[in-house]
Amino acid sequence: MTKGRQKLRICVAGSAGGHINQLLRLSSGWRGHNTFFVTTKKVVQEKLQQYGKVYIVGECNRQRPFMCIIVLLRCIRIIFKEHPDVVISTGAAPGVMLCFISKILGGKIVWIDSIANVERLSLSGRLVRPFADLFLTQWSTVANEYSKVEFVGVVI
Contacts with another protein by CB under 8 A lie at 1, 5-6, 8, 10, 16-22, 25-31, 33, 41, 43-44, 46-47, 59, 61-63, 85-86, 88, 108, 110, 112, 114-119, 122-123, 133-134, 136, 150, 152-156
Determine contact, residues 77/102, Cβ cutoff 8 Å.
Answer: no
3-state secondary structure of 141: helix
Q: What span, in angstroms and rounded, lies between the C-alpha atoms of 42 and 122?
A: 25
Q: Which lies closer to another protein via its Cβ, residue 70 or residue 134? A: 134
Q: Which lies closer to another protein via its Cβ, residue 79 or residue 93? A: 93
Please, what is the minimum distance in Å from the beta carbon of residue 105 to another protein?
Answer: 16
Q: What span, in angstroms and rounded, lies between the C-alpha atoms of 142 and 156?
A: 16
Q: Which lies closer to another protein via its Cβ, residue 28 or residue 147? A: 28
- Name the residue type at position 102: S
Pairing of strands 86-91, 53-56: unpaired
